[in-house]
A and B are shown apart, each in its own frame.
Chain A
Amino acid sequence: MNISEQIDDARTGSAAAQKCLFDHLADPMMALCCRYVKNRQDAEEILLDGFYKFFKCLPDFKYQGEAALYAWVKKVMVNECLMFLRRRHAFSLLTEDVAADLPWTTEPLAQLSAAEIFGLIVRLPVGYRTVFNLYVIEGMEHKEIAAALQITEGTSKSQLSKARLLLQKMLLQRGIDYVKRKAK
Chain B
Amino acid sequence: MSNEKQNEFFSWRDRLNEPHALPEQGLENRDAAWNRLSARLRQEPGRRRIGYWMAAACLLLVFLFYPAPKPTPKPIPAQPQPAAIAQPPAEIAAPILKSQPMIVKRASHKKSPLPPIAITLPLQTADTPASAPPLLAQQPAAFPPPSPDTPHKQVIARQLRVVHGNDLDAAGRPEPAMTSIRDKDPQIKILVVLKNH
Binding site for B on A (CB under 8 A): 15, 18-19, 22-23, 25-28, 30-31, 34, 40, 44, 47-48, 51-52, 55, 70, 105-107, 109-110, 112-115, 117-118, 136-137
Cβ–Cβ contact B27 & A44, under 8 A: yes
Contact A112 B12 (CB under 8 A): yes
Contact with A along B14-47 (1 / 0, CB 8 A): 0111111111111110100110111011100000
Q: Quick one: closest B residue to A23, CB to CB?
A: B30
A70 CA to B19 CA, complexed, in Å: 9
Alpha-carbon distance A51/B30, docked complex (angstroms)? 13
A106 adjacent to B9 (CB under 8 Å):
yes
List the B side residues contacting A15 at CB < 8 Å: 38, 41-42
Counting CB contacts under 8 A, is B175 at the interface? no
CA gap between A113 and B12 in the complex, in Å: 8
Q: Is the CB of B26 within 8 A of A30?
A: yes
Separation of A114 and B13 alpha carbons in the complex (Å): 9
A-B contact pairs, 13 of them (CB 8 A): A18-B38, A18-B41, A26-B30, A26-B33, A27-B22, A31-B25, A44-B27, A55-B41, A105-B5, A107-B8, A114-B16, A115-B24, A117-B16
Query: What chain B residues lie within 8 Å of A55 (beta carbons)?
Result: 41
Interface SS, A side = helix
A112 to B19, CA, bound (A): 18
Q: What residues make up the interface of B, taking CB atoms closer than 8 Å to A? A: 5, 8-9, 11-13, 15-28, 30, 33-34, 36-38, 40-42
Within 8 Å CB of B5, what residues of A?
105-106
A-B CB proximity, top 5 nearest: A27-B26, A31-B25, A114-B21, A28-B19, A31-B22
* CA A48 to CA B34, docked complex, whole Å: 8
Q: What residues of B have a CB within 8 angstroms of the CB of A70 in the complex?
A: 19
- A137 CA to B17 CA, complexed, in Å: 8
Q: Would you give the shortest CB distance from A166 to chain B, in whole angstroms?
A: 17
Known A26-B27, A117-B16; judge A31-B40 contact (CB<8 A): no
Q: Which among B11, B19, B25, B40 is the interface contact of A48 at CB below 8 angstroms?
A: B40
Question: A139 CA to B8 CA in the complex, in Å?
Answer: 15
Distance in angstroms between the alpha carbons of A48 and B29 in the assembled complex: 13
Contact flag A110-B22 (CB < 8 Å), given A27-B27, A30-B27, A51-B37: no
Given contacts A31-B26, A52-B41, contact A110 B12 (CB under 8 A): yes
CB distance from B92 to the nearest CB of A (A): 71
Kindly name the residue among A30, A47, A70 whose own CB sees the greatest number of chain B CB atoms within 10 A. A30
Please indicate the chain A residues that have their CB under 8 angstroms from the CB of B17 in the complex.
137
Please, which residues of chain B bring their CB within 8 A of the CB of A110?
Answer: 8-9, 11-12
List chain A residues, Cβ under 8 A from B13: 136-137
How far is the CB of A66 from the nearest CB of chain B, in Å? 9
CA distance A30 to B28 in the complex (A): 10
A31: chain B residues within 8 A (beta carbon): 21-22, 25-26
B123 to chain A, nearest CB (A): 78
Residues of A within 8 A of B21 (CB): 28, 31, 114-115
| A77, chain B: closest CB distance, angstroms | 12
Whether B8 lies near A47 (C-beta < 8 A) is: no
How near does chain A come to B179, taking the closest CB pair, in angstroms? 95
Complex contacts, A115 vs chain B, CB 8 Å: 21-22, 24
Contact A117 B12 (CB under 8 A): yes
Complex: A70 Cα to B22 Cα, angstroms: 16
Q: How far is the CB of B150 from chain A (nearest CB, A)?
A: 81
From A26, A52, A106, contact of B12 by CB (8 A): A106
